[in-house]
Amino acid sequence: MALSIDVGGRTQDGTQVSTVVKLVGSLDADTVTQAEKAVKPLLVAPPKVLVFDLAGLSFVSSAGIGLMISARKSVEAKGGACYFSGPQPQIRKVFEIMKALPTTSVFGSVRELDEYLTEMQRKVTDPD
């Protein structure tokens, strides 16, 4: 199966709050090079928040997991955060089996992630 990749930004109140990599299809040994070409430029000067939107991802292999883990480590090493939204049950199961990601980084939907990020920002600007 093919892989479609869309890189964009999410804004809130006119400010870009995250860079989103939307993956649709299959992320495997045959398509990981295509995904690397889309993700690597983002890691040169990583965004504060990188989101992998996995709602359309139907299959992931160890090569795909490796790419996402590598991107996460790169972003976090420079003080950013990496999140994963909307994984299908079979993708979530692969994450669980490989113990690849902390559960606090995986959200059921982009909306759920946005609510979390909004709350974290509120806590910083209004700690009381």
pLDDT category of residue 121 using cuts at 50, 70 and 90: low
d(CA 92, CA 122): 29
| pLDDT computed for residue 103 by the predictor | 58
Quick one: residue 6, left, alpha or beta (phi over 0 = left, psi -120 to 50 = alpha)?
A: beta
Total-model pTM: 0.80
* Total of domains in the chain: 1
d(CA 46, CA 33): 19
pLDDT category of residue 108 using cuts at 50, 70 and 90: confident
Per residue in 54-79, pLDDT (tens digit) is 999 999 998 998 999 899 999 999 99
Q: What is the CATH number of the domain that holds 99?
A: 3.30.750.24
Distance (Å) of CA 35 to CA 1, 4, 62, 79: 14, 9, 14, 23
What range does the domain containing 98 cover?
Answer: 3-125
Per residue in 2-50, pLDDT (tens digit) is 999 999 987 767 766 789 999 999 999 999 999 999 999 999 888 888 9
